């Protein structure tokens, strides 16, 4: 996990998983109390799982949701990406909600804003995959190079960054408020069904927590 205070911490599955209270993702339900944010408004199912402005991968009609908060300059996010996508592909019934949470500096913010701007030309996923697919730390010139190679119209991207600046900033603000309300301290961080997963899991551990989340959903 990469973050402000928890660099390099990879918890065991037992330590990492926290079952969210019954109301945590319920419409209008109450959740963990945080003085700075009104969690009752921040952590509704509609905002966490069904925000129409948040990109979704995997099976959009899946019977369980994984919500991922990530940063394009987070090495753990990059390492985990192909393994998580393989688990989701193999399962076939998982909906992956992608929350850009740029906490590792100004370039991370730039990368997140650019990815969300690419959404307006239906290129969020190529942009996301291109930036997650590198092994070195991103720079602004490198971001532009990667996105151009991924087929993003860079002239339109610049226009959309300006025209939709308020919308993009609002998405990032919501993502940050949710992450803080859940108590996440770094990236990657996940909600899997009713489970809070503040860290990295192996493929087998993800498969197990998905199975656990399905069982919890039935109870």
pLDDT (tens digit per residue) in 8-27:
223 333 334 454 443 344 32
Element (H, E) at 165: helix 165-182
Which has the higher per-residue pLDDT, 219 or 180? 180
**DSSP category for residue 4:** S
pLDDT at 35: 34
pLDDT at 18: 52
Which has the higher per-residue pLDDT, 20 or 53? 53
pLDDT at 11: 34
Q: What is the number of H-type helices and E-type strands within the chain?
A: 10, 8
Phi–psi pair at 136, nearest 5 degrees: -100, 160
pLDDT of residue 151 exceeding 90, the answer is yes
CA separation for the pair 129, 178 (Å, rounded): 23
Query: What does the pLDDT average to over 188-194?
Result: 92
CA separation for the pair 51, 69 (Å, rounded): 14
pLDDT at 37: 43
pLDDT tens-place string over residues 108-131: 999 999 999 999 999 999 999 999
183: left (phi over 0), alpha (psi -120 to 50) or beta: left
State the average pLDDT for the chain: 84
Cis peptide leading into residue 154 (ω within 30°): no
Q: 197 near 16, Cβ under 8 Å?
A: yes
Start-to-end CA span in the chain (Å): 31
**64 has which bridge partners?**
94
**189 has which bridge partners?**
69
* pLDDT band with cut points at 50, 70 and 90 for residue 160: very high
| Side-chain-side CA neighbours of residue 48 (13 Å) | 32
pLDDT of residue 66 exceeding 90, the answer is yes
| Other CB atoms within 10 Å distance of the CB of residue 126 | 18
- Cα 53–chain centre separation: 13
> Does pTM surpass 0.85?
no
């Amino acid at each position: 996990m990469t973050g402000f205070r928890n660099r390099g911490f990879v918890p065991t599955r037992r330590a990492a998983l926290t079952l969210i209270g019954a109301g945590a993702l319920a419409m209008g339900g109450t959740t963990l109390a945080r003085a700075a944010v009104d969690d009752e408004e921040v952590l509704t199912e509609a905002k966490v799982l069904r925000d129409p402005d948040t990109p979704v991968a995997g099976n959009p009609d899946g019977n369980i949701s994984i919500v991922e908060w990530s940063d394009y300059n987070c090495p753990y996010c990059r390492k985990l990406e192909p393994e998580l996508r393989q688990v989701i592909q193999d399962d076939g019934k998982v909906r992956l909600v992608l929350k850009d949470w740029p906490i590792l500096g100004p370039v991370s913010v730039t990368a997140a804003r650019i990815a969300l701007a690419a959404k307006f030309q239906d290129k969020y996923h190529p942009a996301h995959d291109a930036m997650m697919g590198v092994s070195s730390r991103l720079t602004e010139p490198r971001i532009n190079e990667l996105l151009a190679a991924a087929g993003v119209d860079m002239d339109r991207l610049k226009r959309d960054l300006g025209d939709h600046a308020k919308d993009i900033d609002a998405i990032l603000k919501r993502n940050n408020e949710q992450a803080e309300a859940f108590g996440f301290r770094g990236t990657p961080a996940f909600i899997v069904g009713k489970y809070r997963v503040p860290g990295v899991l192996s493929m087998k551990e993800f498969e197990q927590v998905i199975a656990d989340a399905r069982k919890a959903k039935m109870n």
